[in-house]
């Protein structure tokens, strides 16, 4: 099945048409800078522009950097406060006529990884962690998503963990890989103690450098880098839209 997947980020909004039977992009990835300020009206207008670019008139999935409940934005940690309480899916559908579905961006990336990538076929508990400006998380049990976890907001050293261990902290404090790897190892061991997962998947842009810092980890659980990299959010968003529109179908069909 072909679905348009859109990954809404802080700096860019990326999209492509996805073959959800294989988890691959059928088109080149199209990117438009995220408008600043990223108000609901400005971002939704940009999403509409992307839908027009692809001349699309079928279901759309959107990954978004917030907790999403019943398509409504519930948190605004790193986005404009005007999003709170906004049902962006309904507005996109109303503006374009395309059925639209919204989920957390890391949940979208994790959905792609457990369906097609590093977590495919893994039973038990899987936690994807994405280290970027903050730390995003996606939790799965036997391939089923437990949505809207905010594990980057666990408390470490008197503040939320992402301020201590996110990739932005590495850049801000000019940390070497060993020192930052030690911090992230501390964070992962905290998750390991709380959840006892069978597998961690390391996502975010920093995952491509995993050989630089995985050697500083001493985890009980297995950890692997994400396989789908910067396509994961687009693919997972498309798959989510398919599952919402066709709930009787099977993932990837």
Taking the domains of the chain in order of start, what are their residue ranges?
Answer: 2-107+230-245, 120-226
Do 180 and 163 form a contact (C-beta atoms < 8 A)? no
Q: Give the predicted TM-score (pTM) of the model.
A: 0.94
Predicted pLDDT at 252? 45
Q: What average pLDDT does this structure show over 164-176?
A: 97
Do domains 2-107+230-245 and 120-226 share one topology? The answer is yes
- Top CATH class of 2-107+230-245 equals alpha beta
Tokens of 80: 């404009």
Q: Is the pLDDT of residue 167 over 80?
A: yes
The Cα–Cα gap between 229 and 168 comes to 18
Predicted pLDDT at 253? 44
The larger pLDDT score, comparing residue 205 to residue 196, is at 196
Q: Is the pLDDT of residue 140 over 90?
A: yes
Q: What is the mean pLDDT of the chain?
A: 94
Percentage of the chain surpassing pLDDT 70?
Answer: 98
**pLDDT tens digits, one per residue of 33-76:** 999 999 999 999 999 999 999 999 999 999 999 999 999 999 98
Q: Is the pLDDT of residue 135 over 80?
A: yes
The pairing of strands 12-19 and 24-25 is antiparallel
Predicted pLDDT at 249? 67
Predicted pLDDT at 10? 82
Q: Is the pLDDT of residue 251 over 70?
A: no
The superfamily (CATH) of domain 120-226 is ATPase, nucleotide binding domain (3.30.420.40)
Q: What average pLDDT does this structure show over 3-22?
A: 95
3-state secondary structure of 155: strand
Q: Which helix (DSSP H) or strand (DSSP E) does residue 135 occupy?
A: strand 135-141
Q: How many CA atoms lie within 13 A of 151 on its CB side?
A: 25
Q: Is the pLDDT of residue 176 over 90?
A: yes
The Cα–Cα gap between 248 and 14 comes to 28
Q: Is the pLDDT of residue 198 over 70?
A: yes
Do 4 and 238 form a contact (C-beta atoms < 8 A)? yes
Predicted pLDDT at 21? 94
């Amino acid at each position: 099945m072909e679905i348009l997947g859109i990954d809404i980020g802080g700096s860019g909004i990326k999209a492509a048409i996805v073959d959800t039977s294989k988890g691959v992009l059928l088109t080149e990835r199209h990117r438009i800078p995220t408008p600043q300020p990223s108000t609901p009206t400005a971002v939704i207008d940009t999403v509409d522009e992307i839908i027009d670019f692809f001349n699309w008139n079928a279901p759309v999935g959107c990954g978004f950097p917030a907790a999403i409940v019943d398509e409504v934005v519930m948190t605004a940690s790193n986005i404009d406060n005007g999003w709170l309480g906004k049902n962006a899916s309904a507005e996109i559908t109303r503006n374009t006529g395309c059925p639209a579905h919204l989920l957390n961006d890391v949940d979208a990336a994790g959905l792609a990884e457990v369906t097609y990538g590093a977590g495919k076929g893994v039973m038990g508990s899987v936690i994807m962690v994405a280290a970027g400006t903050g730390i995003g998380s996606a939790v799965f049990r036997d391939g089923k998503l437990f949505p809207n976890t905010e594990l980057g907001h666990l408390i470490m050293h008197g503040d939320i963990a992402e301020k201590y261990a996110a990739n932005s902290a590495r850049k801000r404090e000019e940390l070497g890989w060993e020192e930052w790897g030690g911090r992230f190892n501390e964070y992962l061991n905290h998750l390991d103690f709380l959840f006892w997962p069978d597998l961690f998947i390391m996502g975010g842009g920093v995952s491509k450098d995993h050989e630089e810092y995985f050697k500083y980890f001493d985890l009980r659980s297995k950890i692997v880098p994400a396989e789908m990299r910067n396509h994961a959010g687009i693919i997972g968003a498309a798959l989510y839209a398919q599952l919402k529109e066709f709930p009787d179908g099977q993932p990837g069909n």
